[in-house]
Amino acid sequence: MAETVGDIGEFGLIRRIADLLDRHGIRSERVTLGIGDDTASFLPRPGYEVLVTCDTLVEGRHYLSAYITPFDLGSRAMTVNISDIGAMGGRPTYALISLGLKAQMPVHDIDEMYRGFLAELNPFNAAVIGGNLTKSGNGMFIDITLMGEVEQGKGVRRSGAKPGAAVLVTGYPGQSAAGLQLLLHEPDNSKLLDHPLVRVYNRPSHRAQLGEAFAGTGFATAMIDTSDGFLGDLGHICEESKVGAELFEEKIPMNEVLRQTAGVLGKDPYDFFLGESDDYELVVTCRPEHVAFLRSVAAGCGAVPVTEVGRITAARGITLRLTGGEQRPLKASSWDHFRANKDQK
Amino acid sequence: MAETVGDIGEFGLIRRIADLLDRHGIRSERVTLGIGDDTASFLPRPGYEVLVTCDTLVEGRHYLSAYITPFDLGSRAMTVNISDIGAMGGRPTYALISLGLKAQMPVHDIDEMYRGFLAELNPFNAAVIGGNLTKSGNGMFIDITLMGEVEQGKGVRRSGAKPGAAVLVTGYPGQSAAGLQLLLHEPDNSKLLDHPLVRVYNRPSHRAQLGEAFAGTGFATAMIDTSDGFLGDLGHICEESKVGAELFEEKIPMNEVLRQTAGVLGKDPYDFFLGESDDYELVVTCRPEHVAFLRSVAAGCGAVPVTEVGRITAARGITLRLTGGEQRPLKASSWDHFRANKDQK
């Protein structure tokens, strides 16, 4: 029988994790104290602000354990946090990982989860410097605190969007929501795990390198990641910047697989784009004359498309200009974990 | 009926918490971005290391919800983390609070929990700068990441104990464990909530100011808080410092209420002192000629007693010298949350 968390105990598990991190993780020269004391400590880089964010995944709420491997789960939990650091224009540096575990979990699954964490952290030379292990009642949880750094004054906030600015979006928001709907539609179809949209749902990517590059240009005036869905997050920018926005239907990025899948599910593909979806793309505003430069920067960062989908307006509210010219008001909505009618996450 | 978390939703709750923090929390001048963006950010103090720790309380595991008020729960969760910063000789600066909540929880309880957090943070001019709210399945959890700062190179680690050093302990470790045993002994006796040991269990104090003062003298060679019990934590110092220790039975601090309560419970009061107990006292080592100075520093920090209970030895292992002269080996044990036979926490 596979060795379980209960078999090796908390301190055995801590040693095992520390050993795995030693072998496969990054050793950062600015970390003055890692795992194994009352706290970790590091020497911050002069001239840089420290960024810090935390995000939690709860079993049965944020992921379906039957449909995701421990490696992908670790990768996903870290990606969510890396995306937030990237959306400020920063670079991830140090992670603390707090796990609520069930005693009967195989130790091998914990190893795999940590490999997933490291798969995302190592490309940034970012290190796991602490955490906490505890037994959880029903269902496990992963709570990650991720720190990062950004040159002093260079962080890109939600509050800097100005009327007339272009609204850009990376990738194809909505893919993750469509992938989740596919899983919920046919919960017993294991072949779905290879579907490209289910893969996006189970192992979302982030655009943190791109976020850092955008911030480096000095041209990105507001930035956010799409963790609450495109419309929800554009809504956050509008609210914090005290502006509105107009979107152009014919410019909304839509790939064929998303369009076809929406058809299969009997849904409007634009609803997937606009609505709640865990894609971790970026929404960025900049002056219209800087769009071409930001797109060329993105082209240098990889194959992710950057699409200009609309304009910031002085008038509040977000509207969609249909291809025929008609204008339709859109209501920004966001994930809300507590309201009974939005309980699917 | 009382308004619940489900009634006002995630975003309503975030606004309410942000408002409460605005009114009752600290506004730190080095925080460049607080709650309300993808990350928080701060400008670290030049010449200081950043300390960071996290600790989780899970309902039913780390606290008994029927026996603790939301205010005390908030205070307790923050104290656990403040104690870790203090045990490094640092000062708390910024907290991120991640909550797993049940939709039916009264909003008023969340307010009270935040008042409990702030009651502990405000004396340090420390601020809540971020966090996360999520719905948890069965049982709530509180995961706090607390940052702090310590002058570069002045942090006191577990690894600095040298043979011949004096072993000091603050307060009366074991009180919390005795309080918990009282609760478990008579779960339906609500009068117990006023018992001094039950109060220690439900609202433990920390010695962070004292830890910072000890570190400031430069004489504390190793330091740890007693979150794993006195013997467990002295064991951590011995392990990291590659030394042993000898304790003197007649020097072990024991107050009358703990002695009497142990009698009522049919237990040895020294077992409470040595064993697993959530007291968050400090264990400190220093050269014997510095004991008096550290005690005078402690006297300046308040009424907590500091007792010299033993010596660090070159020989590994921890022994207890009984009043009659006999020497008995002690086995360091610690909380272990996953092993079935240590499931009471």
Residue B157 lies in a domain: no
Residues A124 and A244 in one domain: no
Chain A closest CA to B336's CA: distance in Å?
5
**DSSP string over A208-236:** HHHHHHHHHHT---EEEE-TT-HHHHHHH
Residue B102 lies in a domain: yes
Residues B111 and B172 in one domain: no
Between A328 and A220, the higher pLDDT residue: A220
Looking at chain B, the whole-number percentage of residues with pLDDT higher than 90 is: 75
Contact B309, B172 (CB under 8 A): no
Please determine, for residue B139, whether its predicted confidence score (pLDDT) is greater than 90: no
Please determine, for residue B162, whether its predicted confidence score (pLDDT) is greater than 80: yes
Q: In whole angstroms, what is the distance from residue B61 CA to residue A22 CA?
A: 30
Residue B25 lies in a domain: yes
Residue B90 lies in a domain: yes
Place of tokens 């993750």: A176
pLDDT, mean of residues B20-49: 94
Q: In whole angstroms, what is the distance from residue A3 CA to residue B107 CA?
A: 42
pLDDT band at A202 (very low <50, low <70, confident <90, very high): confident
Q: At residue B220, what are phi and psi to the nearest 5 degrees?
A: -75, 120
Residues of A in contact with B223 (CB under 8 A): 38
Please determine, for residue B261, whether its predicted confidence score (pLDDT) is greater than 90: yes
Question: What pLDDT is stored for residue A336 in this prediction?
Answer: 53
Instruction: Look at residues B181, B124, B165, B130 and name the one whose alpha carbon lies nearest to residue B309.
Output: B165
Count of domains observed in chain A: 2
Q: How many CB pairs under 8 A join A and B?
A: 238
pLDDT, mean of residues B60-73: 86
Q: In whole angstroms, what is the distance from residue B41 CA to residue B27 CA?
A: 13
pLDDT, mean of residues B326-335: 74
A106 DSSP assignment: B
pLDDT band at A340 (very low <50, low <70, confident <90, very high): very low
Contact flag B132-A56 (C-beta cutoff 8 Å): yes
Residues B147 and B220 in one domain: no
Among B60, B85, B152, the residue with its CB nearest the CB of A39 is: B85
Domain with residue B178: its CATH number is 3.90.650.10
Residue A96 at interface with chain B, using a CB cutoff of 8 Å: yes
Question: What pLDDT is stored for residue A118 in this prediction?
Answer: 98
pLDDT tens-place string over residues A116-153: 999 999 999 999 999 999 988 778 999 999 999 999 99
Residues A166 and A209 in one domain: yes
Domain with residue A65: its CATH number is 3.30.1330.10
Q: In whole angstroms, what is the distance from residue B145 CA to residue A342 CA?
A: 28
Instruction: Look at residues B141, B140, B143 and name the one whose alpha carbon lies nearest to residue B130.
Output: B143
Please determine, for residue B48, whether its predicted confidence score (pLDDT) is greater than 50: yes
Residues A111 and A176 in one domain: no
Among A135, A138, A157, the residue with its CB nearest the CB of B33 is: A157
Residues of B in contact with A65 (CB under 8 A): none
Residues B268 and B220 in one domain: yes
Residues B125 and B177 in one domain: no
Please determine, for residue A331, whether its predicted confidence score (pLDDT) is greater than 60: yes
Domain coverage including residue A261: 158-342
Residues of B in contact with A278 (CB under 8 A): none
Contact A199, A179 (CB under 8 A): yes
Question: What pLDDT is stored for residue B341 in this prediction?
Answer: 39
Tokens of B166: 């004096």
pLDDT, mean of residues B248-265: 94
Contact flag B41-A88 (C-beta cutoff 8 Å): yes
Between B337 and B228, the higher pLDDT residue: B228
Q: In whole angstroms, what is the distance from residue B262 CA to residue B138 CA?
A: 34
Residue B156 lies in a domain: no
Average pLDDT, chain A: 91
Please determine, for residue B72, whether its predicted confidence score (pLDDT) is greater than 90: yes
Residues A162 and A132 in one domain: no
Residues of A in contact with B100 (CB under 8 A): 56, 58, 141
Residue B264 lies in a domain: yes
Residues B180 and B324 in one domain: yes
Question: What pLDDT is stored for residue A323 in this prediction?
Answer: 87
Please determine, for residue B339, whether its predicted confidence score (pLDDT) is greater than 70: no
Between A220 and A200, the higher pLDDT residue: A220
Question: How would you list the strands of the sheet with A282-286, edge to edge?
Answer: A222-225, A282-286, A166-170, A306-313, A244-248, A317-321, A327-330
Residues A143 and A173 in one domain: no
pLDDT tens-place string over residues B283-295: 999 999 999 999 9
Question: What pLDDT is stored for residue B111 in this prediction?
Answer: 97
Q: What is the ipTM of this complex?
A: 0.91
Q: In whole angstroms, what is the distance from residue A143 CA to residue A96 CA?
A: 8
pLDDT band at A332 (very low <50, low <70, confident <90, very high): low
Among A42, A240, A339, the residue with its CB nearest the CB of B49 is: A42
Report long-range pairs for A318-322 (Cβ below 8 Å, ≥24 apart).
A318/A231, A318/A234, A318/A235, A318/A238, A318/A244, A318/A245, A318/A246, A318/A247, A319/A244, A319/A245, A319/A246, A319/A247, A320/A246, A320/A247, A320/A248, A320/A249, A321/A246, A321/A247, A321/A248, A321/A249, A322/A249
Please determine, for residue A47, whether its predicted confidence score (pLDDT) is greater than 60: yes
Choose one of B126, B151, B176: the last residue of a domain. Answer: B151
Among B40, B139, B334, the residue with its CB nearest the CB of A52 is: B40
pLDDT band at A61 (very low <50, low <70, confident <90, very high): confident
Please determine, for residue A345, whether its predicted confidence score (pLDDT) is greater than 80: no
pLDDT tens-place string over residues A65-104: 877 899 999 999 999 999 999 999 999 999 999 999 988 9
Choose one of B151, B185, B200: the last residue of a domain. Answer: B151
Residues B47 and B80 in one domain: yes
Residue of A nearest to B45 (CA): A44
Choose one of A130, A151, A172: the last residue of a domain. Answer: A151
pLDDT, mean of residues B62-90: 92
- Per DSSP, the three-state class of A255 is coil
B101 DSSP assignment: E
Residues B119 and B215 in one domain: no
Residue B19 lies in a domain: yes
Please determine, for residue A203, whether its predicted confidence score (pLDDT) is greater than 70: yes
Residue B159 lies in a domain: no
Contact residues, B window 164-203, toward A, CB-based 8 Å cutoff: none
